[in-house]
Structure 1
């Protein structure tokens, strides 16, 4: 179902962030290096260092022709891919920015930080609309629900907090993880929210009531990423345990494990991020081994 196609090198340090471009065949990475890197999926090669950064890049998010870059310093930069230049850079938080997501329906974007707050920003003039105190500690992950009605925040205190995207009122507090929540994703069919944590568990919460339905001991260590295939009923997870796992999104069955410990190609260190290509033909993974691995979907 997934087979190793290529490993791309170029980063000199661990890679923490990964994002597709709005342009097919282009993706971006960032980490503990001095720049954000652009890659060509069609050519399977490095393209260029897109922009320099002052501190480590912890988050990347692409929307239309803009690339949002969140740094360890709390600085947020916006790179215009059409103009090929940084059009804005400002101090969004006092501490690292761990996740960024756009809400096009509201013309807003959200930033989640180690300072325990989420910034709500205007996409048009970049003004700060709200700063929400979500947690006393790090807000690690953001996911926007079906119809952009709800937003889920995964937090270091082991709690997932669900807010109404209309007025940013707190709707639900989900407590089941025993360690920090490191990833959250809504299923494309709108039936459930998946959360992954440092406790290596995947929790499945039904929608719209957010009741815990299933818990799977999915990995050996922290689950750093969850990504649904764009067309087929599968999702993939990546972990600090160096493995990639492919699951059925309907039956929650484990279909594939990619790991050097299972005698397949694999990362040698923690896997920090994953993303599917827009056409679903490839899965991209990055991690502490400084590599970008490209996995081909094979029927």
Structure 2
């Protein structure tokens, strides 16, 4: 097997506090970031030194979603904002919860919010009107994964559970204790065959969902500390995980075997918790951290 090589090609700086989330934008070269300083920044990877401030809110931002040319900003304790990033203009906003918004996902017609009070909020994507509020847990909802082809909406919670809903009817179909602590991240494989989950217990779990019921396939001791995020490459051949243990790991999605570790000692990686990771393109990974930086990595020979 060809040796995988990793090169750090950019370090994006300018945030004044921990960066909690990054989101791929309108092209492979555009990403958005937000965090504890309330700043929402647009980055062009062709000009990585020139971050553009597109919004500034009062509270921390844990969740961003690029949706049909607009940016959805989950503004903790103050609802959701729809930003036009080209004009630096807020087009719509609505107050949906007095708690944190930990995740934002969307389909063509709807927006889904995972809230700190345990409520799933569903909004109309056109006007941000509320379609439904569903109390899922007494603990925080931390992550959402959607499989539109199979009509699945899956939620991970701080009560250690993973809950499966029918995407169309919003009826609960299954709920299981999935981890030994909070579930922080969920990701469907692009082909929809597998669901991956990770959380504070540092375990990576592989699930199948048959007749909208969870079936555990494999449990992997993937990191030393909490797994904060899981991201599949678009073609589904690989996925990446990032952790409170300061590392990023790249995995073969066919065998669930570890193929590369990206960390501070070997690759000038992050010095504190890595909060989110994404594939900007098939050979480029971006990550954000409590160290207030975004790192961009070129991964060769995958």
Same topology, TM > 0.5:
yes
Larger mean CA deviation between 188-197 and 239-248 belongs to 188-197
In the alignment, is the contact (CA less than 8 A) between 2:247 and 2:263 conserved in 1? Answer: yes
Match of 2:134?
132
Corresponding residue to 2:273 among 261, 264, 270: 270
| Separation (CA, whole Å) in 2 of partners of 1:298 and 1:193 | 26
Per-residue deviation, 1:7: 1.2
| Separation (CA, whole Å) in 2 of partners of 1:207 and 1:58 | 28
Larger mean CA deviation between 79-88 and 148-157 belongs to 79-88
Per-residue deviation, 1:82: 4.5
| Separation (CA, whole Å) in 1 of partners of 2:102 and 2:89 | 23
Larger mean CA deviation between 195-204 and 17-26 belongs to 17-26
Larger mean CA deviation between 180-189 and 139-148 belongs to 139-148
Larger mean CA deviation between 187-196 and 153-162 belongs to 187-196
| Separation (CA, whole Å) in 2 of partners of 1:176 and 1:32 | 29
Describe the superposition over 1:209-252 as per-residue Cα deviations: whole angstroms up to 9, x where unpaired.
42101000100111000000112511000000000000010000
Unaligned runs of 5+ in 1: none
Match of 2:208?
206
| Separation (CA, whole Å) in 2 of partners of 1:14 and 1:70 | 16
State the superposition RMSD in angstroms: 1.4
Per-residue deviation, 1:291: 0.5
Corresponding residue to 2:174 among 172, 175, 178: 172
In the alignment, is the contact (CA less than 8 A) between 1:76 and 1:89 conserved in 2? Answer: yes
Residue pairs, 1:154-173, within 5 angstroms: 154-173=156-175
| Separation (CA, whole Å) in 2 of partners of 1:146 and 1:90 | 25
In the alignment, is the contact (CA less than 8 A) between 1:74 and 1:97 conserved in 2? Answer: no
| Separation (CA, whole Å) in 2 of partners of 1:71 and 1:45 | 26
Per-residue deviation, 1:184: 0.4
Match of 1:185?
187
| Separation (CA, whole Å) in 1 of partners of 2:198 and 2:78 | 24
In the alignment, is the contact (CA less than 8 A) between 1:190 and 1:207 conserved in 2? Answer: no
| Separation (CA, whole Å) in 2 of partners of 1:232 and 1:189 | 7
Residue 88 in structure 1 maps to residue 92 in structure 2? yes
| Separation (CA, whole Å) in 2 of partners of 1:100 and 1:38 | 18
Q: Identify if the C-alpha distance between structure 1 residues 52 and 256 changes in structure 2 by more than 3 Å, giving closer, same or farther.
A: same
Match of 1:259?
263
In the alignment, is the contact (CA less than 8 A) between 2:183 and 2:198 conserved in 1? Answer: yes
Unaligned runs of 5+ in 2: none
4+ residue runs of structure 1 moved beyond 6 angstroms? none
Corresponding residue to 1:46 among 30, 46, 50: 50
Q: Identify if the C-alpha distance between structure 1 residues 265 and 93 changes in structure 2 by more than 3 Å, giving closer, same or farther.
A: same
Per-residue deviation, 1:121: 0.4
In the alignment, is the contact (CA less than 8 A) between 2:191 and 2:236 conserved in 1? Answer: no
| Separation (CA, whole Å) in 2 of partners of 1:45 and 1:95 | 34
Query: Matched residue pairs, number?
Result: 295
In the alignment, is the contact (CA less than 8 A) between 1:38 and 1:48 conserved in 2? Answer: yes
In the alignment, is the contact (CA less than 8 A) between 2:43 and 2:52 conserved in 1? Answer: yes
Describe the superposition over 1:48-95 as per-residue Cα deviations: whole angstroms up to 9, x where unpaired.
111111111111010121100012224211102344310112212110
Q: TM-score, normalised by structure 2?
A: 0.94
Per-residue deviation, 1:146: 4.8
Residue 7 in structure 1 maps to residue 11 in structure 2? yes
